[in-house]
Amino acid sequence: MNINTTAIVSNSEMIKNYKACREKTEMFGKTFVIKNNRPDAVLFSMDEYQRLSGILEYLESLDEKDIAKVMDSFPKPGARNNYPIDDLQNNIK
């Protein structure tokens, strides 16, 4: 998963300036919330939530054979980029 570092906020920023965080969420579709230097939550825009809900509903309608095909299409372990928490924290300001 690629995370846009400008879509990361601290928990305290979310509490102090919720309106700005909501605007950021609308711009990026989702905002990642960090608490005590650890990922804590994800805030989705309504459009992004509806998009993801549609995907989940579709996946729930598949039979086991089709689910296996979908699972095989996902990135294999180790094929994803990992972002150290220190790199993410340095971009929160």
What are the residue ranges spanned by the domains of the chain? Answer: 5-73
Predicted TM-score (pTM) above 0.75 = no
Query: Strand runs (DSSP E) across 1-93, as ranges?
Result: 8-10, 30-35, 38-44
SS3 of 10, please?
Answer: strand
Name which of 36-40, 62-66, 79-83 the model is least confident about.
79-83
Q: Which of 2-6, 19-23, 80-84 has the highest mean pLDDT?
A: 19-23
| CB contact at 8 A, 42 and 32 | yes
Check residue 71 and give its pLDDT.
Answer: 81
Tokens describing residue 6: 């400008």
Q: Tell me: the pLDDT tens digits for 51-64? A: 999 988 988 888 88
Helix (H) or strand (E) holding 15: helix 11-16
Which is it for strands 8-10 and 30-35: parallel, antiparallel or unpaired?
parallel
Instruction: Give the number of other Cβ atoms within 10 Å of residue 85's Cβ.
Output: 11
Yes or no: domain 5-73 corresponds to CATH 3.40.640.10? no
